[in-house]
Chain A
Amino acid sequence: MIKIVLPSVWTGTGTTVFAGEEGPLYEVIKRFAAGNPQFGRRLIGPDGQPLTYLNLCVDDEMIPRHLRAHTEVEAGCTVTVISPMAGG
């Protein structure tokens, strides 16, 4: 299992931490979006792939866009989704 952290304003309830399944980073995001369709529009683009303008951290490391397709999220990790404009 992994943790997926979303901006608190996305949820409307203040909840920010969700459970997810380990695996390739993009698959993690796609599976999470499929299981939580209320976030699908915010995470997945019209091409069915994770939106590239979002920033993704695995634990404390921000993963550059060109490395995301090759990044594996191991069990116990935390994936944080950061909007290009955070806060406010």
Chain B
Amino acid sequence: MEPMVPIPGGPFDQGSPAWVLDWLDSQDQPLPRVWFGDEAPQVTRLVRPFRIDRCPVTNAQFAEFVAASGYRTDAEVRGVGMVYTDTGWQERDKVWWRAPGGPGTSITGYEQHPVVHMSFDDAGAYARWAGKRLPTESEWEYAARGPEFRIWPWGDTWDHRLANTAELHAGPLNSLEQWQQWWHSRYARNGPMPCTTPVGELPRRGRSSAGCADMAGNVYEWTSTLSQLYQEDAVCDPTVRQALGRYRVIRGGSWMNFRYQVRCSERMHGDPGGWSSFAHGFRCAKDL
């Protein structure tokens, strides 16, 4: 098992400076500025010293938890899990962490891949069993970039080889149409199997300054933080605003994303009421 990484803590400016939103606007990417509005303005946060898993929790680790505890995940209990198909997101029967692409698929050979189909409660249950907890959003971002701002864990220059995004598999992507073309081709061959990679497998130069791997891409990661804006009058998507106070913050982006969704300061918000997908996992933290 990969050791936890000690993070010394300290003050830092969480979120994205204004120039990042300007930069996103200037890039050949399809998402509107308002979509990123919840990650600004920056706010000063003090992070206490803590430890965080170097990598996301793997199938092998989660299997150990289930064998010891008899835990059943939300997807397992509900009997359905969410995957992206050739026509979009679908809930399908008997999709869960042991069958991440549905009936006929398995995690054999995927033991060191991050576990997926993890709901917020599933992640919390594992963390408690392991004597750990989920990281807060501030802890997650601090572990991903350290006290100084950087776009990606390794710096401000994109390199598709350093993160498991759709661009690792498909090459540079600049439009939803290009993404769909890649995914349809992939789906035709493999069905809705997630395109995860073994944790910590990508080049070490893609790790954060603290040494954390897979902070950009591979799986979306739950944090313990209730979704809130950094500043109440921030201009953001109105549906995101309605999720505030209800959803939990998700960080890191996943193998499904472009480079722009796997930035250290990128925020997503997930329904904590038992929902998950074939791209959702987690890592744990612990007080020092």
A: residues with CB less than 8 A from B are 5-9, 12, 14, 16-17, 41-42, 51-53, 55, 57, 60, 62, 80-88
CB contact list, B194-247 vs A, under 8 A: 220, 236-240, 242-243, 246-247
B: residues with CB less than 8 A from A are 30-32, 34-35, 38, 82, 87-89, 91, 220, 236-240, 242-243, 246-247, 250, 253, 257, 261, 266-271, 275, 277
Task: State how many angstroms separate the Cβ of A67 from the closest Cβ of chain B.
Answer: 14
Known contacts A81-B239, A82-B239; is A9 also within 8 Å of B35 by CB? Answer: yes
Let me know if A7 and B239 touch, CB within 8 A: yes
- A16 and B82 CA atoms in complex are apart in Å by 25
Closest 5 CB pairs of A and B: A88-B268, A84-B271, A14-B32, A86-B243, A84-B275
Let me know if A86 and B34 touch, CB within 8 A: no
Contacts A53-B275, A86-B237, A88-B257 aside, 13 further interface pairs with beta carbons under 8 A come to: A6-B239, A9-B31, A14-B34, A53-B91, A60-B242, A62-B242, A81-B239, A83-B239, A84-B275, A86-B240, A87-B38, A87-B236, A88-B269
Residues of chain B lying within 8 A (CB to CB) of residue A85: 220, 250, 268-271, 277
Chain A residue nearest to B30 (CB atoms) is A12
Let me know if A9 and B32 touch, CB within 8 A: yes
- A57 and B267 CA atoms in complex are apart in Å by 21
- A60 and B241 CA atoms in complex are apart in Å by 10
Let me know if B239 and A88 touch, CB within 8 A: no
Show 29 A/B contacts (Cβ-Cβ < 8 Å), sorted by A: A5-B238, A5-B239, A7-B240, A8-B32, A9-B32, A16-B238, A41-B87, A42-B88, A51-B91, A53-B89, A53-B91, A55-B271, A62-B242, A80-B238, A80-B239, A81-B239, A82-B271, A84-B82, A84-B271, A85-B220, A85-B270, A86-B237, A86-B243, A86-B247, A86-B269, A87-B236, A88-B35, A88-B261, A88-B266
Chain A residue nearest to B279 (CB atoms) is A85
